[in-house]
């Protein structure tokens, strides 16, 4: 059996495994409408998508992922509760130095169930753990909902909170913004110069000096941007204690029970994270009930911040400690907010994940 046949065999095995767990097999088109989906995937896939144009259907892209099309299909008329599985190729442009393929198989499992989200999280994680158990992989977990709720609860401007939320999936940019908004670093010299000119000449005076206005932005758009800079500079910094809460969440790395204990203590200082911490506790109880050894389960407050931008709660991954050169063989998480967007305000709690069967073959599981 050659490598390609081995990957297909492993993909078939994994999909059959999820079907046996009660999932309905589904298919999605390889060519997907680009406009809505690119906005949902976030900047990472947006930069790596293969996009083309069809005279009748408009802008299209080669399928970079299954979760969004499957969620779109479900929100268009699926019954609940529902479980789906799929297998097929996805397409993403890669940097040459990574050596990663630009097209590869993906096998996934998605659950839409509003009755008991904690049990659904635990069920998905347990299935992935069972499917991958022969590979010698190690699980890592996190919860983006805790960080998101901490940001939403900040006593600062809505604009600053929106900026932090937008960059949760870009850790370096998020940290730079937090440091600036909390006054831990000074304003960049270029921005300070703009603000000094704005204070002395006003927006109209600065725009008049630019005439004719360079670039594609009009005078009104430039004036709006200058006002945004002025308003932000006038806002008081985020308090040291509040910024410290975010730091402690981001820096948290422990076993899941230890992390839960620390987060419960932190919730006393930041009550806005209390509901998310309670959901984490319920999830760990549900995992334990399914036989998952949670005492050694890794938890990181930053886990999932470099994955797809539609995850907004529990996140997980499975990677091979013996092969740190390989990306995770499986990733997944909760994406309730995505269903709200696709359902135009009607949300369905949803959780799922994907496995990369070509990595399973590399790790020695394929073809057995």
Kindly report, residue by residue over 174-210, the tens digit of the pLDDT. Answer: 999 999 999 998 777 767 777 666 666 666 666 666 6
Question: What CATH number should be reported for the domain holding residue 3?
Answer: 3.30.930.10
What is the pLDDT, as a whole number, of residue 113? Answer: 94
Q: Are 6 and 79 in a shared domain?
A: yes
Check pLDDT > 50 for residue 368.
no
Same domain, residue pair 5 and 122? yes
- Asked if 78 and 180 sit in the same domain, the reply is no
CA 45 from chain centre, in angstroms, equals: 11
- Paired with 333 in beta bridges are 315, 352
Q: Which residues contact 18 (CB under 8 A, 6 or more apart)?
A: 83, 85, 107, 109, 127, 131
Give the SS3 label for residue 272: helix
Co-location of 119 and 2 in the same domain: yes
- Tell me, yes or no, whether 101 and 208 share the same domain: no
Residue 300 lies in a domain: no
Other C-beta atoms closer than 10 Å to the C-beta of 287 total: 23
Domain finish residue from 240, 260, 279: 240
Q: Beta 51-54 vs 58-62: how paired, if at all?
A: antiparallel
Q: Name the strands in the sheet holding 82-91, side by side, starting at the edge strand that comes first in the sequence.
A: 24-25, 82-91, 103-112, 350-355, 330-334, 314-319, 138-143, 298-300, 253-255
In a domain, 48, yes or no: yes
Are 97 and 169 contained in the same domain? no
Shared domain check, 165 and 130: no
pLDDT attached to residue 211: 61
Q: What is the pTM of this model?
A: 0.88
The pLDDT, as a whole number, for residue 95 is: 73
Residue 310 lies in a domain: no
Residue 361, pLDDT score: 93
Same domain, 2 and 133: yes
Choose the final residue of a domain: 240, 256, 279.
Answer: 240
In a domain? residue 286 = no
Number of residues written out for the chain: 368
Positions of E strands within the chain: 24-25, 31-33, 51-54, 58-62, 82-91, 103-112, 138-143, 253-255, 298-300, 314-319, 330-334, 350-355
Can you read off the two tokens belonging to residue 328? 């995770």
CB of 259 within 8 A of CB of 273? Answer: no
12 and 122 inside one domain: yes
Q: Tens of pLDDT along 127-169?
A: 999 999 999 999 999 999 999 999 999 999 999 999 999 999 9
Q: Are residues 20 and 100 located together in one domain of the fold?
A: yes
Distance CA 279, CA 281 (A): 5
Q: 24 and 133: one domain?
A: yes
Q: Is residue 34 part of a domain?
A: yes
Question: Can you tell me which residue has the tokens 């499917």?
Answer: 131
Residue 23 DSSP symbol: P
Domain boundary among 204, 220, 240: 240
Give me the domain span that covers residue 168.
Answer: 158-240
Q: Quote the number of domains for the chain.
A: 2
If 0-12 CB within 10 Å is exposed, 13-18 middle and 19+ buried, where does residue 320 land? buried
316 in any annotated domain:
no
pLDDT by residue (tens digit) across 288-300? 999 999 999 999 9
Mark whether 125 and 176 lie in a shared domain.
Answer: no
Residue 163 lies in a domain: yes
Residue 40 lies in a domain: yes
CA 348 – CA 319 distance, rounded (Å): 29
């Amino acid at each position: 059996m050659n490598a390609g046949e081995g990957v297909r065999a492993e993909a078939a095995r994994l999909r059959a495994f999820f079907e046996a767990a009660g999932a309905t097999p589904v298919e999605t088109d390889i060519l997907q409408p680009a406009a809505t989906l690119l906005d949902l995937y976030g900047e990472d896939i947006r930069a790596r998508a293969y996009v083309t144009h069809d005279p009748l259907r408009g802008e299209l892209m080669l399928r970079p992922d299954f979760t969004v099309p499957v969620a779109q299909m479900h929100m268009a008329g699926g019954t609940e509760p529902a479980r789906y599985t799929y297998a097929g190729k996805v397409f993403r442009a890669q940097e040459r130095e990574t050596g990663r393929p630009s097209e590869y198989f993906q096998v996934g499992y998605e659950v839409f169930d509003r009755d008991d989200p904690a049990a659904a999280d635990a069920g998905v994680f347990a299935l992935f753990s069972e499917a991958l158990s022969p590979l010698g992989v190690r699980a890592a977990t996190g919860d983006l909902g805790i960080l998101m709720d901490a940001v939403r609860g900040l006593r600062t401007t809505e604009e600053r909170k929106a900026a932090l939320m937008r960059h949760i999936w870009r850790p370096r940019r998020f940290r730079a913004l937090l440091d600036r908004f909390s006054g831990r670093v000074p304003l960049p010299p270029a921005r300070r110069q703009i603000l000094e000119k704005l204070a002395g000449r006003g927006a109209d005076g600065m725009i008049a000096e630019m005439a004719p206005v360079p670039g594609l932005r009009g005078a009104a758009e430039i004036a709006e941007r200058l006002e945004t800079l002025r308003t932000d500079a006038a806002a008081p910094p985020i308090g040291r204690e509040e910024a410290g809460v975010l730091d402690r969440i981001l820096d948290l790395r422990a076993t899941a029970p230890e992390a839960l204990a620390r987060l419960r203590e932190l919730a006393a200082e930041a009550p806005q994270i209390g509901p998310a911490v309670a959901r984490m506790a319920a999830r760990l109880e549900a995992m334990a009930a399914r036989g998952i050894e949670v005492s050694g389960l890794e938890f990181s407050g930053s886990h999932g911040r470099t994955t797809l931008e539609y995850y907004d709660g529990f996140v997980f991954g499975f990677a091979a400690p013996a092969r740190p050169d390989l990306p995770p063989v499986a990733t997944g998480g909760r994406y309730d907010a995505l269903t709200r967007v696709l359902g135009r305000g009607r949300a369905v709690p949803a959780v799922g994940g994907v496995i990369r069967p070509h990595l399973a073959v590399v790790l020695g599981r394929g073809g057995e």
